[in-house]
Structure formats: structure tokens, C-alpha cells
Amino acid sequence: MNIILVGMNHKTAPLEIREKLSLSCWSDLNPLTELMKVPHVKEAMYLSTCNRVEVLAETTEAAAAAVGLRSFIFNHGNLTPEEMGRCLYVHTDIEAIRHLFRVSSSLDSLVMGEPQILGQVKDAYHLAMENKTTGMVLNKLVHHAFRAAKRVRTETAIASNAVSISYAAVELAKKIFGNLQGKAVLLVGAGEMAELAARHLLNQGVGKVLIANRTYTRALEIAAAVQGTAIEFNDLAARLEDADIVISSTGAPGYVVTRDMVAEALRGRKNRLLFLIDIAVPRDIEPEAGELDNAFLYNVDDLQEVVDDNLQNRRQEAEKAEAIIEEEVKKCQAWVNSLLVVPTIVSLRQKVEEIVKSELDKSSSWLGNLDEQTRKNVEIMTAAIVNKIIHSPIASLKEESQDDNGLTSSLVLVRRLFKLDTN
């Protein structure tokens, strides 16, 4: 088995590069079809979020498949060779499995412990299943990742007072204003990010929450849930003036809040500050808006400082979580190793059984003189001899598959001793 994971995330790629790939994937709603055309790829899953783009695949040849998968990301993101070399990471086999487990458990997230990533991994997996691009191997690995994530969330306090990008955005707003009591907030986008932000803001005592979304009925749903007010998306420019804080998180491929819109809103605010937080990838708010007087614009990468403060309080729980991950990786490794020994065990049994059959055929002249019961007794006896001969090597291989100590060399030795690779 050859597992490979190729990707980039917030640690390796700046926002500008992540945007390139996110934009291209926005226009291509199903990259799985193309992934399955990559040479040597047998199974594949594609994960794309604000902070990461990753491909997990089971291949017939990891090194060769890595070339094709890197080219896939290179072409889709319109990256330069230098950007690809600097930003892409490649993990294989156990390291790929460990990375999958850590991602699913939110240990690799921008905000450690945030709950959204597990749902995003599940969505990516369900899409792969719908497109029939997963099989026995990825199904097993991903379900094991879900189990690891569940253990982390139930056996540690890493998700207590759960944080998210939305939560970090609210924390940043508190640092800017000092107190959010009575402030007016405009949420652009009515997805999960927006709803989470609204709930965090209400806990901080904001005075008014406006929700703008392209689908007005969805804005009404969020407004009802958070005691806010829905506004028509076409009124967005006019309502910017009413907000002290704007948090934008749509899935639009271009800017929904431009510099000119912000400039017009500031003219009506009479020197009152306008705080803009863009947590969308691709970005929703034109970067030049942050150059205007009395406008303060922050994007997802700017939230890292807030995230770092949270990480300090989570390190002890993260250590517990990492220990759980290693336990689950070891269990998964045992399963992977069991797959490695199966072909050798099957070949060994077939080889010995072929020898027995050949010798019985050679003895057919005198075996034919035996009565039926005696012939059956001979066959039972030979089968018992076969099982006793191969019991020890099979048992040893299965035992070594549990901890990977010397497994590869043992497989080579067994195949050489019994000449399993010769015709």
C-alpha cells in the first residue's frame, strides 16, 4: 500500500497563494474526476478549506503519483515553480496518516481545537464517496481519523470554550474597541462562520446585528436565530455606514465590499472608526479599503496573533491530544501492516499447497488403489502437515505486523526462503 498526501496550508502558504488555488477550485466544482486520471492513483479525496488544500490518495506507486499530484495542484493554482516548491508538502504512508489524524482532530488548524475542520473533512469524504473515488484503504483511514478526532474531543479539554476563526475575529474586535457594548455589527454572508460570529458577538453585548446575504431567506433564518435583522444584499453599500464592525465570510469569487463602498460609508460616519474583518478565502473586501483613514482592515492571516494567545492556554491539552493521536496511528499502522503481510501469507500457503498437490499427483498410481475413506485420510493428513509447516512463519509475520519491528526484512526473508517470487 502506498498512501500519499500532498497539500499546502496556512503554515506553508500565505493568503495570496491560498487564494489562487481556492479561486480555481471555485470554478471547478469537482476536481475528483481529474484526480482519478492522475497516473498510479487508485483512490483519492480532496479537502479544500479557507486555510488548506490537500489531496489524500492511495496509489500503486507513491513517488510517481506524487509527481502527478503536485502537477495537479500546480496547474489548478496557477502557481510558479518557486511557489510550489516553497509551499507544498508531501507526506507518505504513516506520516500521511498521522497528518490526516491531526488535521481531523484540529491539532493542525489555525485555531487549535476549532470544531469546523472535522465537519469539513467529513464533507470532503462524503463527496469522494458520492463520486466513488474511495475504496477499502481510504474508507478505513478516514473512519479511523474520525475515531481519533472523537477521542481527542471527549478525552481532552482542547475544545473547551471552543474557538474558531469567527471567535478570533470577535476577540480582535474587542482589542480594537476595548468594549463591544452597544456596537453595531454587519455580517456579510450567512454561512456557519457568520452564525458563529453573531453568537460570539451577542455574548459580548453588541447592540445591533445586521445580516446581508445573497439569498435573503437564509439571511432571515440567521437573523431569527441570533435576534438580528436581515437586509437585502443589494443594500449592502448603503448599510455599511450603520456598522461599527463588518465581518465578511462569503464564498464569492470576487470582492463584495470595495474601497469605494467603504469610502462612501466613512463620509457619513463623521470620523467614527469602521472595523473590517475579512475571514473569507478568496478575500471579500478589497485590500485598498484598509488604506482609508478611520478604516481598519484585517484578514485571516492577521488573526494569528489572537490565535497564538489561545494556543498558550491549550498546550497542556494539546500534549494529551498528541498522545491520543500516536495511539491511534499505532493501531492504524498495525492494520496497514496486516495488509502488507497478507500477500506473502497467501503466496506461502499457495506454494506449499501446490507442492503437496504435485506430489499427490505423482503418487496417483498407488493412491488410486486406496479406498475412498483412506484417500480422504491421506488428504487430511497432508493438509495438517501443510498447516504445521507454515504456522510458525505466518504467526511470526502477524506478530511483527503489530509493531512494524523488522517486518519488511521478515517479509523479504520468508519470500526468499520459500522462493515465492520465482515462477
241-287 per-position pLDDT tens digit: 999 999 998 989 899 999 999 999 999 998 888 999 998 888 999 99
The CATH 3.40.50.720 portion of the chain extends over 165-303
* pLDDT tens per residue, range 76-131: 777 888 888 889 999 999 999 999 999 999 999 887 887 889 999 999 999 999 99
Instruction: Report helix, strand or coil for 117.
Output: helix
pLDDT of residue 406: 60
CATH domain 2-161 topology: Beta Polymerase; domain 2 (3.30.460)
Catalytic status, residue 25 = no
Q: Is the pLDDT of residue 44 over 90?
A: yes
Cell numbers at residue 282, please? 478568496
Q: How far is CA 103 from the centre of its chain?
A: 5
183, 210 Cβ separation under 8 angstroms: no
The CATH class of 165-303 is alpha beta
| Strands (DSSP E) found in 174-327 | 184-188, 208-213, 229-232, 245-248, 274-278, 295-299
The CATH 3.30.460.30 portion of the chain extends over 2-161
Instruction: Report helix, strand or coil for 91.
Output: strand
Average pLDDT, the chain: 85
* pLDDT tens per residue, range 212-230: 999 999 999 888 888 899 9
Q: Please pick, among 25, 50, 87, 332, the residue that the annotation labels catalytic.
A: 50
